[in-house]
């Protein structure tokens, strides 16, 4: 099921970093660091707790793939992995998406309103 106005249902095929039968890895358009990307289920679902076991396993496989690719491409010192579940922090999408944000030595991570942080 897709939603007409959902950015994660209507992504550009050219933006796909990797894909499996249940999800895709896409670059984050409002990146917090070099390489920041999101793992998105193909099915329009708003909660991590509403995905099937098969979807969850495939999303975690994509998360691991994203980590491995980011390690090769950018050699970060670590990662911040997270997602918001439900309508909190003024989320702009009701489509589940998991952020993987590379962390670099000496670079502070500046979380923004997407994470409930005040500027």
Q: What integer pLDDT is reported at residue 114 of this predicted model? A: 59
Residue 96: count other Cβ atoms within 10 Å of its Cβ: 25
Interacting residues of 28 by C-beta distance below 8 A, sequence separation 6+: 36, 37, 38, 99, 101
- Band (pLDDT 50/70/90 cuts) for residue 92 is low
Look up 97 and say whether it is catalytic: yes
Going along the chain from its start, the domains and CATH numbers come out as 13-107 (3.30.428.10)
65 Cβ contact list (under 8 Å, min separation 6): 18, 25
Q: Which of 44, 74, 80, 97 is catalytic?
A: 97
Query: What confidence score (pLDDT) does residue 97 get?
Result: 92
- Give the C-alpha separation, 84 to 99, whole Å: 9
Task: For residue 42, give both structure tokens.
Answer: 């193909």
Tell me the pTM.
Answer: 0.86
29-78 pLDDT, tens digit per residue, is 889 899 999 999 999 998 999 999 999 999 999 999 999 999 999 999 99
| Beta-carbon contacts of residue 43 (< 8 Å; ≥ 6 apart) | 1, 22, 51, 55
């Amino acid at each position: 099921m897709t939603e007409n106005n959902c950015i994660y249902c209507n992504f550009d095929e050219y933006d796909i970093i990797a894909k499996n039968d249940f999800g895709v890895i896409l670059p984050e358009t409002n990146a917090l660091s070099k390489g920041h990307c999101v793992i998105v289920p193909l099915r329009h679902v708003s909660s991590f707790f509403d995905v099937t076991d098969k979807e969850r396993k495939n999303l975690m496989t994509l998360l691991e793939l994203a980590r491995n690719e980011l390690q090769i491409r950018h050699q970060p010192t670590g990662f911040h992995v997270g997602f918001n579940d439900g309508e909190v922090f003024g989320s702009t999408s009701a489509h589940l998406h998991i952020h993987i944000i590379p962390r670099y030595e000496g670079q502070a991570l500046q979380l923004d309103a997407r994470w409930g942080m005040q500027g």
